[in-house]
Protein backbone atom coordinates (compact mmCIF):
# COMPACT_ATOMS: atom_id res chain seq x y z
CA UNK A 1 0.00 0.00 0.00
CA UNK A 2 2.86 2.40 0.82
CA UNK A 3 5.54 2.87 -1.79
CA UNK A 4 9.02 1.68 -0.81
CA UNK A 5 10.47 5.06 -1.81
CA UNK A 6 8.02 6.84 0.51
CA UNK A 7 8.81 4.47 3.37
CA UNK A 8 12.56 4.92 2.82
CA UNK A 9 12.07 8.67 3.10
CA UNK A 10 9.88 8.36 6.18
CA UNK A 11 12.11 6.06 8.26
CA UNK A 12 15.11 8.46 8.50
CA UNK A 13 12.74 11.30 9.39
CA UNK A 14 11.12 9.16 12.10
CA UNK A 15 14.53 8.15 13.48
CA UNK A 16 15.65 11.78 13.58
CA UNK A 17 12.47 12.55 15.52
CA UNK A 18 13.16 9.70 17.97
CA UNK A 19 16.73 10.90 18.56
CA UNK A 20 15.64 14.46 19.30
CA UNK A 21 15.53 15.02 23.09
CA UNK A 22 12.03 15.83 24.21
CA UNK A 23 9.49 15.37 26.98
CA UNK A 24 9.06 11.63 26.39
CA UNK A 25 12.80 10.98 26.46
CA UNK A 26 13.24 13.03 29.62
CA UNK A 27 10.34 11.21 31.26
CA UNK A 28 11.90 7.81 30.54
CA UNK A 29 15.25 9.15 31.75
CA UNK A 30 13.60 10.21 34.99
CA UNK A 31 11.87 6.85 35.39
CA UNK A 32 15.20 5.10 34.90
CA UNK A 33 16.84 7.21 37.59
CA UNK A 34 13.95 6.73 39.95
CA UNK A 35 13.08 3.05 39.54
CA UNK A 36 15.72 1.35 37.40
CA UNK A 37 16.06 -0.06 33.86
CA UNK A 38 12.92 -2.21 34.00
CA UNK A 39 10.73 0.79 34.79
CA UNK A 40 12.43 2.80 32.05
CA UNK A 41 11.64 0.13 29.45
CA UNK A 42 8.04 -0.11 30.67
CA UNK A 43 7.67 3.68 30.59
CA UNK A 44 9.05 3.74 27.06
CA UNK A 45 6.52 1.10 26.04
CA UNK A 46 3.75 3.21 27.57
CA UNK A 47 4.94 6.30 25.69
CA UNK A 48 4.99 4.36 22.41
CA UNK A 49 1.50 3.01 23.05
CA UNK A 50 0.33 6.56 23.64
CA UNK A 51 1.90 7.61 20.33
CA UNK A 52 -0.05 4.90 18.54
CA UNK A 53 -3.26 6.10 20.17
CA UNK A 54 -2.54 9.64 18.97
CA UNK A 55 -1.90 8.34 15.46
CA UNK A 56 -5.17 6.39 15.52
CA UNK A 57 -7.11 9.43 16.70
CA UNK A 58 -5.47 11.60 14.06
CA UNK A 59 -6.25 9.04 11.38
CA UNK A 60 -9.87 8.98 12.49
CA UNK A 61 -10.05 12.76 12.31
CA UNK A 62 -10.30 13.57 16.02
CA UNK A 63 -7.07 15.52 15.80
CA UNK A 64 -8.85 18.09 13.67
CA UNK A 65 -11.32 18.62 16.52
CA UNK A 66 -8.47 19.19 18.98
CA UNK A 67 -6.84 21.64 16.59
CA UNK A 68 -10.01 23.68 16.12
CA UNK A 69 -11.29 23.67 19.73
CA UNK A 70 -8.78 25.49 21.98
CA UNK A 71 -10.68 24.62 25.16
CA UNK A 72 -10.28 20.89 24.50
CA UNK A 73 -6.55 21.39 23.95
CA UNK A 74 -6.29 23.24 27.26
CA UNK A 75 -8.28 20.65 29.21
CA UNK A 76 -5.99 17.86 28.06
CA UNK A 77 -2.91 19.99 28.64
CA UNK A 78 -3.77 20.90 32.23
CA UNK A 79 -4.62 17.30 33.05
CA UNK A 80 -1.10 16.47 31.89
CA UNK A 81 0.39 19.24 34.03
CA UNK A 82 -1.45 17.97 37.11
CA UNK A 83 -0.35 14.39 36.53
CA UNK A 84 3.31 15.32 35.99
CA UNK A 85 3.31 17.35 39.20
CA UNK A 86 1.81 14.35 41.01
CA UNK A 87 4.60 12.13 39.68
CA UNK A 88 7.19 14.77 40.64
CA UNK A 89 5.88 14.94 44.20
CA UNK A 90 5.98 11.15 44.45
CA UNK A 91 9.61 11.11 43.30
CA UNK A 92 10.63 13.72 45.90
CA UNK A 93 8.62 12.15 48.72
CA UNK A 94 9.98 8.66 48.08
CA UNK A 95 13.49 9.77 47.17
CA UNK A 96 15.25 7.80 49.89
CA UNK A 97 14.43 4.21 48.95
CA UNK A 98 16.09 1.19 50.46
CA UNK A 99 17.58 -1.18 47.93
CA UNK A 100 16.00 -4.00 49.94
CA UNK A 101 12.52 -2.58 49.43
CA UNK A 102 10.23 -4.42 47.00
CA UNK A 103 10.42 -2.99 43.50
CA UNK A 104 7.44 -1.01 42.30
CA UNK A 105 5.56 -3.04 39.64
CA UNK A 106 6.65 -2.02 36.16
CA UNK A 107 3.03 -1.76 35.08
CA UNK A 108 2.86 1.52 36.97
CA UNK A 109 5.75 2.87 34.90
CA UNK A 110 3.93 1.74 31.75
CA UNK A 111 0.77 3.47 32.94
CA UNK A 112 2.66 6.65 33.77
CA UNK A 113 4.34 6.74 30.35
CA UNK A 114 1.01 6.16 28.63
CA UNK A 115 -0.78 8.89 30.58
CA UNK A 116 2.02 11.43 30.16
CA UNK A 117 1.97 10.90 26.39
CA UNK A 118 -1.82 10.91 26.09
CA UNK A 119 -2.15 14.14 28.06
CA UNK A 120 0.24 15.98 25.75
CA UNK A 121 -2.08 17.37 23.06
CA UNK A 122 0.85 18.67 21.07
CA UNK A 123 1.64 15.08 20.07
CA UNK A 124 -1.56 14.65 18.10
CA UNK A 125 -1.09 18.07 16.48
CA UNK A 126 2.44 17.08 15.48
CA UNK A 127 1.13 13.83 14.04
CA UNK A 128 -1.37 15.81 11.97
CA UNK A 129 1.42 18.01 10.64
CA UNK A 130 4.01 15.29 10.02
CA UNK A 131 2.40 12.05 8.82
CA UNK A 132 0.05 13.49 6.14
CA UNK A 133 3.11 14.59 4.17
CA UNK A 134 3.74 10.90 3.45
CA UNK A 135 0.13 9.71 3.05
CA UNK A 136 -1.23 9.14 -0.44
CA UNK A 137 -5.04 8.74 -0.48
CA UNK A 138 -4.80 7.22 -3.95
CA UNK A 139 -2.98 4.20 -2.51
CA UNK A 140 -5.81 2.96 -0.31
CA UNK A 141 -6.94 3.38 3.29
CA UNK A 142 -5.66 6.61 4.82
CA UNK A 143 -6.17 5.20 8.33
CA UNK A 144 -4.06 2.13 7.53
CA UNK A 145 -1.29 4.33 6.16
CA UNK A 146 -1.45 6.50 9.31
CA UNK A 147 -1.13 3.40 11.49
CA UNK A 148 1.77 2.02 9.44
CA UNK A 149 3.71 5.24 9.81
CA UNK A 150 2.69 5.39 13.45
CA UNK A 151 4.19 1.96 14.13
CA UNK A 152 7.50 3.17 12.67
CA UNK A 153 7.46 6.24 14.92
CA UNK A 154 6.47 4.22 17.99
CA UNK A 155 9.15 1.57 17.39
CA UNK A 156 11.91 4.15 16.93
CA UNK A 157 10.78 6.07 19.99
CA UNK A 158 10.57 2.93 22.10
CA UNK A 159 14.14 1.84 21.33
CA UNK A 160 15.62 5.32 21.83
CA UNK A 161 13.74 6.18 25.01
CA UNK A 162 14.32 2.74 26.50
CA UNK A 163 18.09 2.94 25.90
CA UNK A 164 18.23 6.39 27.51
CA UNK A 165 16.21 5.16 30.48
CA UNK A 166 18.28 1.98 30.89
CA UNK A 167 21.47 4.05 30.95
CA UNK A 168 19.95 6.33 33.60
CA UNK A 169 18.67 3.31 35.51
CA UNK A 170 22.15 1.84 35.84
CA UNK A 171 23.46 5.10 37.25
CA UNK A 172 20.44 5.43 39.52
CA UNK A 173 20.83 1.96 41.01
CA UNK A 174 24.48 2.69 41.77
CA UNK A 175 23.44 5.76 43.76
CA UNK A 176 20.62 3.99 45.63
CA UNK A 177 23.12 2.31 47.95
CA UNK A 178 23.68 5.65 49.70
CA UNK A 179 20.71 7.16 51.57
CA UNK A 180 21.81 10.76 51.03
CA UNK A 181 22.50 10.16 47.35
CA UNK A 182 19.09 8.47 47.09
CA UNK A 183 17.41 11.56 48.52
CA UNK A 184 19.29 13.83 46.11
CA UNK A 185 18.31 11.50 43.28
CA UNK A 186 14.67 11.85 44.30
CA UNK A 187 14.94 15.63 44.08
CA UNK A 188 16.64 15.40 40.69
CA UNK A 189 13.99 13.11 39.19
CA UNK A 190 11.23 15.15 40.82
CA UNK A 191 12.79 18.25 39.28
CA UNK A 192 12.78 16.61 35.84
CA UNK A 193 9.07 15.76 36.10
CA UNK A 194 8.25 19.23 37.48
CA UNK A 195 10.18 20.84 34.60
CA UNK A 196 8.16 18.77 32.14
CA UNK A 197 4.97 19.99 33.84
CA UNK A 198 6.10 23.62 33.52
CA UNK A 199 7.03 23.04 29.87
CA UNK A 200 3.58 21.63 29.18
CA UNK A 201 1.89 24.46 31.11
CA UNK A 202 3.58 27.24 29.08
CA UNK A 203 3.34 25.36 25.80
CA UNK A 204 1.74 27.40 23.04
CA UNK A 205 -1.00 25.99 20.88
CA UNK A 206 0.18 24.76 17.50
pLDDT tens per residue, range 40-83: 999 999 999 999 999 998 888 765 666 677 676 677 678 778 87
Q: Is residue 90 part of a domain?
A: yes
Q: Is residue 24 part of a domain?
A: no
> Radius of gyration over alpha carbons of the chain, in Å?
18
End-to-end Cα spacing for the chain: 30
Position 102 pLDDT exceeds 60: no
Instruction: Classify residue 135 by its DSSP letter.
Output: -
Q: What local confidence, expressed as pLDDT, does residue 141 receive?
A: 80
CA triple 54-23-2, angle to 5 deg: 40
Q: Is residue 154 part of a domain?
A: yes
Q: Is residue 122 part of a domain?
A: yes
Q: Is residue 10 part of a domain?
A: no
**Structural domain total, the chain:** 1
User: 201: Cβ–Cβ under 8 A, 6 or more apart, which residues?
Assistant: 77, 78, 81
Q: Is residue 26 part of a domain?
A: no
Q: Is residue 6 part of a domain?
A: no
State the average pLDDT over residues 169-190: 66
Ramachandran bin of 60, using left for φ above 0, alpha for ψ from -120 to 50, beta for the remaining angles: alpha
CA dist 103 and 77 (Å) reads 30
In degrees to the nearest 10, what's the CA dihedral of 83, 37, 161, 12?
-160
pLDDT tens per residue, range 147-165: 999 999 999 999 999 998 8
Domain that holds residue 41: 35-95+104-201
Q: Is residue 171 part of a domain?
A: yes
Amino acid sequence: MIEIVTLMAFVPAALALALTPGADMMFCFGQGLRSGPGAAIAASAGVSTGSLVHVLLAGLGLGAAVATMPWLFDVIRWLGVAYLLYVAWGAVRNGAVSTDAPAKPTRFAYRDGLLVNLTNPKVILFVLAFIPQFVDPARGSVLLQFLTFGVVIAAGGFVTNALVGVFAGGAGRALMTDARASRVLGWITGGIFAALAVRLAIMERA
